[in-house]
Amino acid sequence: MLRLCVQCDVASCHGSSWRRGDENGNRNGCEGKPPRSWTYRAVGNTLEKDDGVQQSGAPRLRLMVLTSGRGWPYSWEWEEHKSIHDCYVNCEVERAWRIVLEDLSEWFSTDPGAYFEPRRRVLIGTPGIGKSMAAGSYLLYQLLHYDVEKLQLVVHRFGDTTYVFDKTIQTVTKYEGNEISKIVLYDLWQRGMKGYIIYDVTKQGTPPASYFASFREWVMIVVSSPSLDNYDGWATQVTDTRIIMNCPDEMDVKAMCAWMKRDGDTDEQKKYWRMVKERMDEVGPLPRHIFHANDFKARFGAVEDTLEAINSRYADDRFILPGGGLWYSKDPSQKFVRIVRTRGEVGAERFLNAPICYSLVSRSANRLAKAMSEKGFLLFVLGVRKTISSACADRFCLRALIFGRFFSAMAEELKELRSPAHDIQDTVLKANPGAHPTEICEIPGVGKIDAKQNINYRVLYIPVVRDLPLVDGFFFMESPRRTLVGLQMTTAGEHRTTTSTVRQFTECLVAYFNGWEEFAQGLSWEIIYLQHADSTPMNGWQRCDVVRPPSVGDVDRGRIAEFWKTTHQYQFTLTDCFLRRMLQSQKMPKLREAKSLDEKIEEMTEEVSAVRL
């Protein structure tokens, strides 16, 4: 049994201090309770950050750091006595506390004579983003500072370990085992003490024991990954409400790096941030996996193993990537996705799956397209479009160009954006559909090209990072005329480019391909703008504006602008209707004779993207 004085240890005004950092890494500190941070407004049944109240010219708060001299209970339990002292609080962590605070206010403002059952919550977030260390520790801190006359107990549970914070005598007691914890908590509950339970699901598939549901006069929050195995059994016994926690964004992580290296010089800080940024580009913005070399290596290795598995002949059946059903299975492709908060029709929080980073979604989509049948891949795309944003899902369709039927059907529906400088002309895709790409080649990021490659026709070139200028992918066709076909995803009604962007793109081609200068002689260009159904339709030719950066001389600017006028541009809108027509043109397996073909497609799509929200 471990007994510690709260006033001298965890979450104490005397034992912990606040530090604030803005987006530029500037920081200041104050002792005691946290300063006022972000402002939130009511949206649906909960809250969202209100950026509209930001004062003009004022530094934008990015991160708060709460430091405990003895470390936080999460690190006592799981870090082999290497206590973690800093708790990073971003707007998502603060938001979770504000929602809990509203619950407490409602609980304690209720007429004592009226029956009221405190609200139960489930805090759900992508594994590795800091739900336990950041959100769990911050909730503990705030609850320990909450009015002791109203809330006397805070219980923090990790696996079989329970910490009971008794605010009335300022002690914390550690209990090991489920049975002893049950006896102790039941005794405290019987004595009429008011308590708040933070239950951290530290092991997959270990939801709260059934006895927790019996403490109906106490408040409880379960901190979990999106897997229903972690909380669904408990949630069926109580009325729970979700809090969905988004991943930290790039600037949040940059602020964490600035704090970690606050004592280093500028060069050291920049070097550390570059390293963390590269790791984040490889595995996503997951604090658990990007700050320490061993953690990153383990995660990166697991990701690579999963990517290798996509080459399996079982890809059609076993890989669902960002489909809603992903989080309710043991699918290994969980490593490729994160969850993002959205809202249901009545305002309750829900989540959708989204790619965890551009690199992983690009690489996994490339391998899926190679490993799956055309029918399987198109069904996969339909499923993806039902569970993540259309703009993101449509990027998968670039890979469908390696399938002949899809390529030919898209070519027939291309709409030319007529240039004032030349007449209309059929796309080379329509003139020679048999020359469609049959392979996918991944282009490394700018500055990471180890050796130049030969130029090949019938190869779809896709960047694995987002730094390729001008287009999202491209391929070459040899006839009826030698042509570079650029593919650009866009939602806007206009997508103009600049002479410097075109110049940067050609410089990338020079760096990547052998003999580009010679190959480019007499090469025509076609640009295809791909949009989804919710986009603003693109109707006009997209011009190239002349800009004047020092790197592009006057002659080059003029030459690039004139060359751009010779490009032919086309627009294509990808719809569910188009994908369904593609599937209808292929032989579908028998399901039930009474079903129409549309119903069969719908049934198969739901198998791929079944979502429970």
- Reference 49, options 59, 34, 60; nearest CA is 60
The distance in angstroms from the start CA to the end CA of the chain is 41
Which of 72-81, 169-178, 203-212 is the least confident region? Answer: 72-81
- Reference 42, options 412, 347, 399, 457; nearest CA is 347
| CA distance linking residue 193 with residue 197, whole number of Å | 13
The pLDDT confidence band at residue 114, using thresholds 50, 70 and 90, is: low
- Write down the pLDDT at residue 613: 31
Residue pLDDT, tens place only, 454-513: 999 999 999 988 878 999 999 999 999 999 999 999 888 888 999 999 999 999 999 999
Q: For residues 198 and 156, is the Cβ–Cβ distance under 8 A?
A: yes
Q: For residues 400 and 370, is the Cβ–Cβ distance under 8 A?
A: no
- Reference 403, options 431, 369, 380; nearest CA is 369
Q: Where are the domains of the chain?
A: 3-245, 261-388, 401-574
Q: Report the Cα 100 to chain-centroid distance in Å.
A: 24
- Reference 511, options 453, 439, 441; nearest CA is 453
Q: CA of 443: how far to CAs of 394, 411, 448, 455, 464, in Å?
A: 19, 25, 9, 12, 6
Which of 12-21, 539-548, 575-584 is the least confident region? Answer: 12-21
- Bridge partners, residue 224, by sequence: 124
| CA distance linking residue 108 with residue 90, whole number of Å | 27
Q: Over 70: is that where the pLDDT of 123 sits?
A: yes
Q: CA of 365: how far to CAs of 66, 383, 388, 521, 601, in Å?
A: 40, 14, 15, 33, 21
295 burial class (0-12, 13-18, 19+ CB within 10 angstroms)? middle
Instruction: Out of 115-129, 243-257, 411-425, give the one with best mean pLDDT.
Output: 243-257
Instruction: Report phi then psi at 512, rounded to 5.
Output: -95, -35
Enter the DSSP assignment of 319.
-
Name the average pLDDT for the chain.
Answer: 82
The pLDDT confidence band at residue 587, using thresholds 50, 70 and 90, is: low
Residue 364 has a CB neighbour count (10 Å cut-off) of 23
Three-state SS string across 234-276, please? HHCCCCEEEEEECCCCHHHHHHHHHHHCCCCCHHHHHHHHHHH
Residue pLDDT, tens place only, 78-95: 555 467 889 999 999 999
The pLDDT confidence band at residue 448, using thresholds 50, 70 and 90, is: confident
Instruction: Report phi then psi at 153, rounded to 5.
Output: -130, 145
The residue assigned the tokens 């919550």 is 121
Q: Look at strands 195-200 and 219-224 and give their pairing.
A: parallel
What is the average pLDDT across 570-578? 92
Which of 91-105, 317-331, 398-412, 447-461 is the least confident region? Answer: 317-331
| CA distance linking residue 318 with residue 331, whole number of Å | 7
Which of 202-211, 383-392, 570-579 is the least confident region? Answer: 383-392
Compute the residue count for the chain.
613
| CA distance linking residue 463 with residue 363, whole number of Å | 9
**Is the peptide bond preceding residue 537 cis, with omega within 30 degrees of 0?**
no
- Write down the pLDDT at residue 375: 87
DSSP of 558-609, one letter per residue?
A: HHHHHHHTT-EEEEEEE-HHHHHHHHHTSPPPPS-TTS-HHHHHHHHHHHHH
Residue 259 has a CB neighbour count (10 Å cut-off) of 19
| CA distance linking residue 91 with residue 61, whole number of Å | 9
Residue pLDDT, tens place only, 302-344: 999 988 888 655 555 555 444 444 444 455 667 888 889 988 8
Residue 250 has a CB neighbour count (10 Å cut-off) of 11
Enter the DSSP assignment of 474.
E
Q: For residues 417 and 570, is the Cβ–Cβ distance under 8 A?
A: yes
The pLDDT confidence band at residue 423, using thresholds 50, 70 and 90, is: confident
- Write down the pLDDT at residue 327: 44
| CA distance linking residue 244 with residue 226, whole number of Å | 9
Q: Over 80: is that where the pLDDT of 22 sits?
A: no
Q: CA of 158: how far to CAs of 75, 181, 215, in Å?
A: 11, 12, 18
Q: Over 60: is that where the pLDDT of 389 sits?
A: no
Architecture category of domain 3-245 in CATH? 3-Layer(aba) Sandwich (3.40)
Q: Over 90: is that where the pLDDT of 402 sits?
A: yes
Which of 30-39, 44-53, 184-193, 219-228 is the least confident region? Answer: 30-39
Q: Over 80: is that where the pLDDT of 7 sits?
A: no
| CA distance linking residue 514 with residue 525, whole number of Å | 19
- Bridge partners, residue 441, by sequence: 461
| CA distance linking residue 531 with residue 526, whole number of Å | 16
Structure tokens at 612: 């429970």
The residue assigned the tokens 């950050």 is 49
- Write down the pLDDT at residue 390: 58
The pLDDT confidence band at residue 30, using thresholds 50, 70 and 90, is: very low
More confident: 308 or 387: 308
- Report the amino acid identity of residue 570: Y
Which of 180-189, 486-495, 522-531, 555-564 is the least confident region? Answer: 555-564
- Write down the pLDDT at residue 331: 59
Q: Report the Cα 486 to chain-centroid distance in Å.
A: 27
Cα angle vertex 531, ends 528, 534, to 5°?
165
Q: Over 70: is that where the pLDDT of 555 sits?
A: no
Q: For residues 340 and 234, is the Cβ–Cβ distance under 8 A?
A: no
- Write down the pLDDT at residue 117: 75
What is the average pLDDT across 2-19? 36
DSSP of 22-78, one letter per residue?
A: ETTS-EEEEESSPPP---EEEETTEEEE-GGGPPTTSPPEEEEEEEETT--HHHHHH
